[in-house]
Structure 1
Amino acid sequence: AESSVTSYLNKGLGSVAPFYVVVEGLDENGNSFRRLIPRLISPSRVLVECDLSDLVFRAGVRTQANITVTNNGANDSFVFSVADTKGFSSNTRPKHRHIATGESRVFTVILQAPESTQDGLATILTATVHGYRRESFQYGVCTVVVGQKKRPHVNSLAIVGTINGRYAETVVTSIVTNNADIGREAEFHILLPSDAYIVNLTMATANETIVGSIETKEKAKKIYKEAKKTGKTAGHVAARDTSTRAFKTSLFVSPREVVTFQFTYQQLLRRV
């Protein structure tokens, strides 16, 4: 019941009727219980969309963040406000506006971090809207990071080649640091010799070593995207197209983590 209620509230579905919440379970002694919360709950008819992942936010620079509010209920006038944990928000525009049934409107939040703010510092924005009707209330939470569009810092990049008989092996090693409070992505573009093949992809953090595996193109992309969503360190190597030997290596680095990335390929040397 709890997950269903949460889903309704987050989506702001206008078709959900008011309801009571009943909690059932077992206490610490194994006895069953059932409790009714004696208050009728009216689901919100408002949806607040607060996705600022593409926002470019720099210290000392006045920045606008747009938040979309959708009204799935009756026509109403809404008041909009924002609070953030670091005090970077200074103003909102507009502070109130009328939103008709089924319409979406954009509210703008003005953000500015002091020039001395370190890249990677995160603030959590809580955007709240409420109208005159009881069900016209909702909030959205999003994270904004100073310098969030910057890539992780590449500490070093080393390429070492060795020849053993008729085979040449090349090892590309890079150490990458993510100094932000959120996961960030680094990319490497590698052009392999036409007769070379990849033999190893390894990533090492302070706590674990991850050895790459060969998967189909679709499955590999899916695994990488799922890892990014959960904030886990992950890597993905893929050919940029089928006609070249150009590869793009994507490396997602968890917050405040240092990763050693190693990419190895071999090739057969031709006799001349």
Structure 2
Amino acid sequence: MTLTPVSSWASFGGTLSVHDHESAVTGTTMRFAVYSPPQAKKGPVPVLWYLSGLTCTWANVMEKSGLQRTASEHGIMIIAPDTSPRGPDVPDDDAYDLGQGAGFYLTATEAPWDKHYRMDQYITRELNALVAANFPADMKRQGIFGHSMGGHGALTLHFKYPDTYRSCSAFSPITSPSRVPWGEKAFTAYIGPPSIAWEQYDATELVQTRQTDAHILIDTGKADQFLETQLKPDIFIDACETSGQALTYRMHEGYGHDYYFIATFMSDHIAHHAKALKA
């Protein structure tokens, strides 16, 4: 599969590069970013996938979080996919929380979304193979993390593919999408009325039967405007305690749902993954 270079910058001894490719899974041109640390010049390094939230692209985390410094220190490659398929022929919605920029890391089964919206397949299969073929990535040492909708994606993909994504963390994740407006709206549109299919994309449901050996790290701000309506962390915390899933869920006074918050704790998360992936 051919990659088309879009941009490239030197950063902390490594390289941040952006690439386009034609996706057989989504049927569109997809764009993603890769930060390769300086250690990658000598051989394969562990891989950490970052899944962004609603309305975001690869650019948000790469430009705002400051991840390159810590990734270069630990020798971790970081991949930032897009949040959905895009293009003039791709279904969209006027609302920010549905359609382009809001793929929810699932496979849609309802028209008109089912033709292109297959972000979980795209990330776990197609993009995974593409990274393995084109970058000095040690695919036996992969972790995954994300923010908000991307935190939802990171948790669900970790629970489904623990042998692929050995470590997991999240910033302000949607951990119980079946019980909050964002998830209810997206799931209804993409996969139909409430059914067992919803449970396959809900971290609170998955952790009850698919506990992993990983110690999950989650950070959320106490001043997050979506805390009580969309995030509801207590539901997931209780499910982890009941199922025996190792979890550290930290709440931070004064922080919101933004990249100022993410940048503050990004180093903690990369170190968390580095410890697990280098073991």
| Fold shared per TM-score above 0.5 | no
Give the helix-richer structure, 1 or 2.
2
Greater Rg, structure 1 or structure 2?
Answer: 1
